[in-house]
Structures are given as C-alpha cells and as structure tokens.
Amino acid sequence: MYKRDPKQDTTFLDNDHWREKHPLNFPGPFYTGMSDTCGTGPCEAQENVLCDSYCQEYIFKQPTDYLELVGVLDAAAVEVIDSYSCNGNKYWTYEKCREWWHTVPDILQQLKDPEIVKVNGPDHVQLHLDYLNGAAEKDLRKYCYFLENGRYPQGEVRLPEL
C-alpha cells in the first residue's frame, strides 16, 4: 500500500474532471473522471473507492475522517492519468444531490452485477451496499445542509429532505 506524506504536494487533485465525472461518484468534494483501469484506488482507499465493471474507479463514500482522507489522497496519487478531483463543492447543488439520490436503486442493482463483484471482491461490494442502505442518506443530507448553509450541521438541526 502506497503511503504518501499528506503534507506533500497535492496538485494532482487540481484537474477538473466534472465533465467526465463517473456517474456513480457519491456527491461531495472528491470525485473521479475517466480513470485508468489498473484498479489501484480500492487498494489505497478501501473504505471509499470502488471500481465499476470496466475497472473505472469512483468515490462511493466521501472521506469522513483523517485516515479515509489520506486513503483517498493516496488513491489519487497512484492513479496514472490523474482522474481524481477535489472541486466537487463547486458543482454539486442541493438539487443535483437529490437527483443523484434517486439513482440509488439503480446503483444497488448494478452492484449485484457478477462482473462488479469479480472486479472488487464480494466483501468490498458489500461494504458499498451496506453504506448505501445505511449511513449514506444521512451523510448526503448533511452534505446538502453544507451546500445550502456553507457549514456542516452542528447539534440538532433539521436536515434537508432527499
């Protein structure tokens, strides 16, 4: 596993890949465009990155702590064609997040594809399934709150509906 010093240069995240953003990226600051097909991302950020049936990497869960952040940065650093970006906040809106959320039933169906299971391994796919069926909704609602208010919710606040 590649271990990058998080204080090193991160200009590899400066590329804007929004136009070719992978449709399965979970809304948030990090996302991928068209990646190589080496499949290194899931090795570096198992809690956050998955591959589709063509071995294209995408962020299935935004990092929520320091270790996950370093994992995503490592995945981006080893990605040969620099397909990771961190400017998603510039593009995501509350409405776009709601639209994306309505695709989750299709994503859940896609994750049952034997080729996706073969590429990622059943445990890794299950991790994504569990996330989408569990904490993902609340995480996305918090992100929508952030998009609408410029800060993450503190304490008991009413989160936007999806």
* Per-residue pLDDT tens digits for 118-141: 999 999 999 999 999 999 999 999
**Does pLDDT of 15 surpass 60?**
yes
Nearest C-alpha neighbor of 141 from the set 94, 91, 96, 89: 94
pTM for the model: 0.89
Higher pLDDT, 14 or 141: 141
What average pLDDT does range 96-100 have in this prediction?
Answer: 98
Question: Chain-wide mean pLDDT for the chain?
Answer: 89
d(CA 8, CA 23): 29
